[in-house]
């Protein structure tokens, strides 16, 4: 008997029929003798409907109150799923984030899970129930309802799996695994049988939408066996991608995936004085505003006899307004040049643990881009990733060229 946590996204619970299907899958596992915890998102479209409702009242809804509203989406879907399981003859109980005891910090709309009380879930599992938990939400230590931000249901699932020491956390979505690239852009993209947490994390950060990056960090930290599966596959299908700890064989493959990210903008703060602490001041002010800076590139030069630094970085487009306000304030204090913004960018990335043991990968990537006559505006690398900022209009061409150039259609992992 295993303890399985399953997570279903908004599309998988988007209608009463689909909810019945989710119930059937959970029941099939339960009938095999497993203990089953199901984490669900709001029905697709529901979160947006609720946000729109708030925006009909005010342009800038209070964040606590917005979380109060938005969290109702999952509350509805857990109850519907519990009803569906009961209709099919098994016992189930739905629990909100607060009822489970998912305690978060107070960062409304992007809260972090601090603690999960497993006693409630365990006692219901012992009674033979399928336990249905609202994804995406928790309560802060004072009992205010918080949400984890978009994609947060993945995080809930992995965190619950970690807290329960579950045997596996299955993430059900509308694709049956992690692909070498988005199949809508690259039709010959292949599903990867297993991928390392670090690769998955880089892919998630750089635009692969299949898993939320915070959930991958959680899984890596607590070594949760994580799989990505399709809720449209038939019950019992073994097709999936496992996210696992890196093993020796993995480094043989240089590049595991190509990702594209289209929702960021580039901000350039030119000619900051080359003084220790200037960049730190800028980014700590941005962090205070909870702005997610992604790529950062700094270049030094001499200007009027002084050392100066141009700093470019990317942020989500929906945080651009706040970012520019903060950056403008700081450059004015330092009498630096003025802040410029480019919204017309995309980020293309290649990811693979094999980069650590293979050399010349960056050069090969730049050559492929050069052959396509795609200009690289910013380059940023990690140990297992190379990213480049390019013009938005060139992103699909870039992804296809890299997928072909690194022969990802031949991947065998």
Please report, as ranges, the residues that interact with its own copies according to CB under 8 A.
16, 19-20, 50, 53-54, 56-58, 61-62, 64-66, 68-69, 71-72, 75-76, 78-80, 82-84, 86-87, 93-94, 96, 98-99, 143-145
Contact call for residues 255 and 408 (beta carbons, < 8 A):
yes
Beta carbon nearer to its own copies, 17 or 383:
17
CB of 79 to its own copies, least distance (A): 4
CB of 69 to its own copies, least distance (A): 4
The residues near 120 (Cβ < 8 Å, ≥ 6 apart) are 95, 99, 100, 101
Beta carbon nearer to its own copies, 76 or 293:
76
Beta carbon nearer to its own copies, 37 or 84:
84
CB of 50 to its own copies, least distance (A): 7
CB of 15 to its own copies, least distance (A): 8
Strand order in the sheet with 226-230: 92-95, 130-134, 35-40, 3-8, 168-173, 226-230, 241-244, 194-196
The residues near 83 (Cβ < 8 Å, ≥ 6 apart) are none
The alpha carbon dihedral of 239, 243, 248, 254 has a sign of: positive
> CA–CA separation, 179 vs 190, rounded Å?
5
Beta carbon nearer to its own copies, 71 or 215:
71
* Ordered alpha helix ranges (H), 72-191: 72-87, 97-100, 119-126, 152-164
CB of 135 to its own copies, least distance (A): 15
CB of 166 to its own copies, least distance (A): 23
Beta carbon nearer to its own copies, 100 or 374:
100
CB of 78 to its own copies, least distance (A): 7
Between helix 320-333 and helix 278-288 the angle, nearest 10°, is 150
> CA–CA separation, 413 vs 200, rounded Å?
14
Beta carbon nearer to its own copies, 64 or 225:
64
Beta carbon nearer to its own copies, 23 or 224:
23
Contact call for residues 186 and 405 (beta carbons, < 8 A):
no
Beta carbon nearer to its own copies, 58 or 318:
58
Beta carbon nearer to its own copies, 50 or 195:
50
3-state SS class at 92: strand
Beta carbon nearer to its own copies, 57 or 363:
57
CB of 37 to its own copies, least distance (A): 17
Cα–Cα distances in Å, from 176 out to 179, 183, 228? 9, 12, 6
3-state SS class at 172: strand
Q: What is the separation of C-alpha 127 from the centre of its chain, rounded to a whole number of angstroms?
A: 34
CB of 255 to its own copies, least distance (A): 45
Beta carbon nearer to its own copies, 18 or 266:
18
Kindly state the tokens that stand for 412.
């065998």
Contact call for residues 56 and 159 (beta carbons, < 8 A):
no
Cα–Cα distances in Å, from 315 out to 116, 222, 341, 351? 31, 29, 10, 20
CB of 59 to its own copies, least distance (A): 8
The alpha carbon dihedral of 282, 283, 287, 292 has a sign of: positive
CB of 302 to its own copies, least distance (A): 50
Contact call for residues 372 and 398 (beta carbons, < 8 A):
yes
Contact call for residues 107 and 64 (beta carbons, < 8 A):
no
């Amino acid at each position: 008997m295993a303890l399985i946590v399953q997570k279903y996204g908004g599309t998988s619970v988007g209608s009463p029929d689909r909810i019945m299907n989710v119930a059937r899958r959970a029941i099939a596992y339960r009938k095999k003798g497993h203990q089953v915890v199901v984490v669900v998102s709001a029905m697709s479209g529901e979160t947006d409907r609720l946000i729109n409702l708030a925006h009909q009242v005010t342009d800038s809804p209070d964040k606590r109150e917005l979380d109060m509203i938005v969290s109702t989406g999952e509350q509805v879907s857990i109850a519907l799923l519990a009803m569906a399981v009961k209709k099919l003859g098994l016992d189930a109980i739905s629990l909100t984030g607060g009822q489970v005891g998912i305690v978060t910090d107070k960062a409304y709309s992007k809260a972090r899970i601090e603690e999960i009380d497993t006693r409630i879930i365990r006692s219901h599992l012992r009674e033979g129930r399928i336990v249905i938990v609202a994804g995406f939400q928790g309560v802060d230590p004072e009992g205010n309802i918080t949400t984890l931000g978009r994609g947060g249901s993945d995080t809930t699932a992995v965190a619950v799996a970690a807290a329960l020491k579950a045997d596996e956390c299955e993430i059900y979505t509308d694709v049956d695994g992690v692909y070498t690239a988005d199949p809508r852009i690259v039709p010959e993209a292949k599903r990867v049988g297993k991928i390392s947490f670090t690769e998955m994390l880089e892919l998630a950060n750089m635009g692969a939408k299949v898993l939320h990056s915070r959930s991958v960090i959680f899984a890596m930290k607590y070594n949760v066996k994580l799989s990505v599966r399709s809720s449209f596959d038939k019950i019992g299908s073994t097709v999936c991608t496992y996210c696992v700890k890196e093993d020796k064989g993995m480094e043989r493959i240089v590049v595991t995936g190509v990702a594209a990210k289209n929702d960021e903008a580039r901000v350039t703060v030119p000619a900051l004085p080359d003084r220790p602490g200037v960049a730190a001041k800028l980014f700590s002010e941005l962090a205070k505003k909870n702005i997610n800076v992604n790529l950062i590139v700094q270049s030094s030069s001499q200007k009027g006899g002084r050392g100066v630094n141009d700093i470019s970085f990317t942020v989500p487009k929906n945080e651009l307004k706040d970012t520019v306000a903060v950056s403008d304030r700081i450059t004015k204090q330092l009498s630096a040049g003025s802040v410029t913004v480019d919204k017309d960018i995309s980020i293309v990335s290649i990811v693979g643990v094999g980069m650590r043991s293979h050399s010349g990968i960056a050069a090969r990537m730049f050559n492929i881009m050069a052959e396509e006559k795609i200009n690289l505006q910013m380059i940023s690398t990690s140990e297992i990733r190379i990213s480049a900022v390019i013009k938005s209009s060139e992103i699909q061409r870039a992804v296809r060229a890299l997928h072909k150039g690194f022969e990802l259609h031949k991947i065998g992992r």
